[in-house]
Structure 1
């Protein structure tokens, strides 16, 4: 299963429980712009959102509120069938006279539940809440918004343990067959939704959301895939863009192959940095004597697991695929490097629990064995967006290039490009259209050590948005995204723009 631009919010909360859900009602009179949102206390999250408990009260005793907004199922037929878009908000905490409006968040994926993620990160956005209602949502196909469903929890356990990096013709045939079966299950269980989960559909939902919330402009904070969604919105509705921030930026100029290759390089860079960090410390690195030794031992572990898995979380075994997935998950944030070190130590001793826990988090599995729908939604949105369809022969031709980019992640990301094989819906385009002439300035934040959305994507997003729109800010750091790194320079620049409209100098650097 390819990580392809996946799991922003999930990655940043790898070892945290999921938190919440949406509820409420909309207008049934056919005039969706006139609907009144029925905000209520948020119930416990649905399984598709990740399960768990309702969100904790806000500081000062405020509560999270949830509602459901009706949107057209098919935006080409806006008076036809509708679906519900789950929303969550925290009302602005400051002087009502200084309130700017709503600040809408998308934490990425595609496939991540914003209704779950916003409470998990709310502490990071306390200053922004002084002048904004903080709002997020489950995009269509995600969480409580008509979620894409493919297989049962037990079937997903088996599916995620398949060999995702086949070494011979039999393994290749098995991977293709299981991919076809998975995609057929998605069509069987969610055929109504699959044609209508493109990023352009979600962007149109956001413009309806803006109007229903009573805002003349869309104030927006997009992270990872959320930057692509924000760019598509800006292209469709340039005059409606208010103050917007893109963090952890998807390169909008790349097709799926180029994106996967960029991720291979990005994750390899993050692994190199992890290994350098471990072996450069005063105390002894427990997983290798040198940076290259660390990477050699990881490569040997994965090779051994391909032949013989080790015990993971009973009754499942830690496979090569699980271990690779878990390692990738831990590279999304420097905060998780200690878990990767501990997981490798245990795995070298024959215990795969920590690496499997990390892999489970990447796949949206909780400790009760229940899966959120982040992976089915991720595949559905990517396959509806992305026109190319790759074959086994295509992948085999491209493997040398991917292996050169990353000896450890190259095969994994290359074979992941098969995920849209026999998908029920054709893809829309080779890459998203984000040109937005006439839009207000958009602050584009790139992280030089980002594994999932490599730094170069920020500059390309700025160029693609068009002259006078994108304003680039560089963060010299590690992990996916910049604002949630807690770097004061980044946070001050973002806060100054969103709260006071102060646009940073183009090309500014935080280190």
Structure 2
């Protein structure tokens, strides 16, 4: 599966609850079908998220009593034939809380993935954006192929249980054949169950949906907050519609110049850095680190655990076991946020005692599996979007030749991320390009926020995004911290800069550093 380590905003929240319970086109500025731009949205109280969106309860009102409202926007299935079949794009909003005369418009969020449901994620973090809501309606959506927006369907829950427990780091010919066969079966199921929508879930399609959304919401400009993959989507939008860009923030920035192989290698380095930082943090505390005496000892013990799991999985959440691949995924999930390092410590302690439940719960969170055994479509949608976007197709022989460099980048994550490159090999739809085009001459300033300790979107991607956007467009802000993303860290310097830009149009000096 390509890019297996994706942003899991709602998943992180869900994991916290589960673990607590357990422990206790440049210049294209228009041209949509007139009937679709004139459509009126019917906003109603939001229902409970669908299983494809992650399930759970209907979103609770915000502390001031404001209720979340949901609607469905019609968009062309095929943007090359805008007057043909349509699909529904699920939207959610919380209306602005401040003086109506000072309302700027809508602020549209994409929280990443690709494959993440904005309809289920925005309410989980809505209070984090209270300051921004004073002048904006907060809006998010399920991008096409995701959740309730013509969601991609691949394998069923039972098949996915087996798929995510497979050996994703093959050591011999038989294991390699097993991985390739399972990947081929997964991709064939996507084609069989979602044949109509698969050719139309590229990031360029989602960007065109956002411009239609801008018009339907009644905004002259698109004001936007993109996180992780949402920065790539925002960059593609800026390329296609530079004159329609309003105030835009890119946080946890995807490097738009990389191929999928380079992205996987960058993630290997990023997650290794996060693991190094975790090990250093744990062993530098006054009390003894329960998972190692020194940073190297922590990493050596984890490596031994993974080697042992490759030979003999641990009991997990019956009837499932904690396999080597599930443990790698669970560790990666915990590295997304420093707030979750304590769960990684608990999970490792538990695993060393022969119990794999916490690490398996973390892995479930990464893969979109709920406590009742049902999966969201985040994995299916992520594969569909990535494989439609990314042109390269990598052979097993090519991956084997690249293993030494991946292992040098990360002894722990290297093999897993290298083998993820075969995920698109048998995909039914050809990929669009080697990497996205985000050049946006004529666009206004876009605030690009990079985090030096980000595991999933390494810090270097922010500078690459600034350069690719073009002169006078990208404005770089650096946060010296840990975790995936900067604004959500609650760092006062970052939030002051972002809020000042979005609310008052104050563009920070490019190169500003928040330490």
Question: Same fold per TM (> 0.5)?
Answer: yes
Q: How far, CA to CA, are the matches of 1:4 and 1:345 in structure 2? A: 25
Normalising by structure 1, what TM-score?
0.97
- The aligned residue for residue 282 of structure 2 is 278
SS in 1 for 2:165: coil
For residue 187 of structure 1, what is the aligned residue in structure 2? 191
Q: Is the 8 A contact 1:279 1:285 kept in 2?
A: yes
Aligned residue runs from structure 1 range 191-210, under 5 A: 191-210=195-214
Match of 1:72 among 76, 85, 88: 76
For 2:492, the equivalent position in structure 1 comes to 488
Once the 2 structures are TM-superposed, how far is the Cα of residue 5 of structure 1 from its aligned partner? 5.8
CA pair 45-16 structure 1, distance change in 2 beyond 3 A: farther
Deviations 1:28-77 (A, max 9, x none): x9710110000000011111001110001112211000000000000000
The secondary structure found in structure 2 opposite 1:15 is helix
2:21 alignment partner in structure 1: none
Deviation per CA, 1:95-150, whole angstroms, max 9, x where unpaired?
00000000000000000000000001111100000000000000000000000000
Quick check: 1:142 aligned with 2:146? yes
Q: Deviations along 1:341-364, whole A, 9 cap, x unmatched?
A: 000000000000000000000000
Aligned to 1:36: 40
Pick from 298, 302, 306: which aligns with 1:302? Answer: 306
| 2:8 and 2:366 in contact (8 A); partners too | no
Q: 1:5 to 1:504 in 2, by over 3 A?
A: farther
Unpaired runs of at least 5, structure 2: 19-32
Which residue of structure 1 lines up, in the alignment, with residue 28 of structure 2?
none
Mapped to 1, the partners of 2:271 and 2:10 lie a distance apart of 17
**Partner residue, 1:243:** 247
| Alignment partner of 1:313 out of 297, 305, 317 | 317
Partner of 1:25: none
Distance in 2 (CA, whole Å) between partners of 1:184 and 1:290 is 46
Q: Structure 1 residues 472, 5: closer, same or farther in 2, change over 3 A?
A: farther
Q: Does 1:123 align with 2:130?
A: no
**Distance of 2:426 and 2:158 partners within structure 1:** 23
Match of 1:23 in 2: none
- For residues 483 and 62 of structure 1, what CA distance do their matches in structure 2 show? 23
Question: Could you tell me which residue of structure 2 aligns to residue 7 of structure 1?
Answer: 7
CA distance in 2 between counterparts of 1:51 and 1:227 reads 26
CA contact (8 A) 2:11 2:368 kept: no
* Residue 407 of structure 1: aligned partner: 411
Residue aligning to 1:326: 330
Instruction: Give 3-state SS (helix, strand or coil) of 1:163's partner.
Output: coil
Determine if contact 1:309/1:320 at 8 Å carries over to the other structure.
yes
Q: Does 1:450 align with 2:454?
A: yes
Distance 1:16 1:303 in 2: 27
SS in 2 for 1:44: coil
2:98–2:135 Cα contact (<8 Å) kept: yes
Paired residues in the alignment total 501
Match 2:342 to one of 338, 341, 344: 338
Q: Are 1:92 and 2:91 an aligned pair?
A: no
Q: Which residue of 2 aligns with 1:59?
A: 63
Deviation of the 1:9 alpha carbon = 2.3
Match of 2:25 in 1: none
Secondary structure of residue in 1 paired with 2:212:
helix
In the alignment, structure 1 residue 232 sits paired with structure 2 residue 236 = yes
Q: 1: distance between equivalents of 2:339 and 2:201?
A: 33
1:261 and 2:265 aligned: yes
Aligned to 1:212: 216
Q: What root-mean-square deviation, in Å, do the aligned CA atoms of Structure 1 and Structure 2 show? A: 1.2
**1:163 alignment counterpart:** 167
| SS across alignment from 1:357 | helix
Correspondence 1:463 to 2:476: no
CA distance, structure 2, for counterparts of residue 232 and residue 474 of structure 1? 22
- Relative to structure 1, the CA distance from residue 14 to residue 475 in structure 2 (aligned partners, 3 Å threshold; closer, same or farther) is farther
SS at match of 1:84: strand
Q: What per-residue deviation string (whole Å, max 9, x for no partner) do you get for residues 163-204 of structure 1?
A: 000000000011101100000000000000100000000000
Secondary structure at 2:341 match in 1: helix
- The question of whether the paired residues in 2 share the 8 Å contact of 1:490 and 1:510 is answered with yes
Question: 2:387 aligned with 1:386, yes or no?
Answer: no
8 Å CA contact 1:5–1:224 kept in 2: the answer is no
Superposition deviation, residue 2 in structure 1: 4.6
Q: What is the match of residue 21 of structure 1?
A: none
* Structure 1 unaligned residues grouped into runs of 5+: 19-28
Deviation at 1:6, TM superposition (A): 1.5
Q: Secondary structure at the match of 1:143?
A: coil
1:503 aligns with 2:507: yes
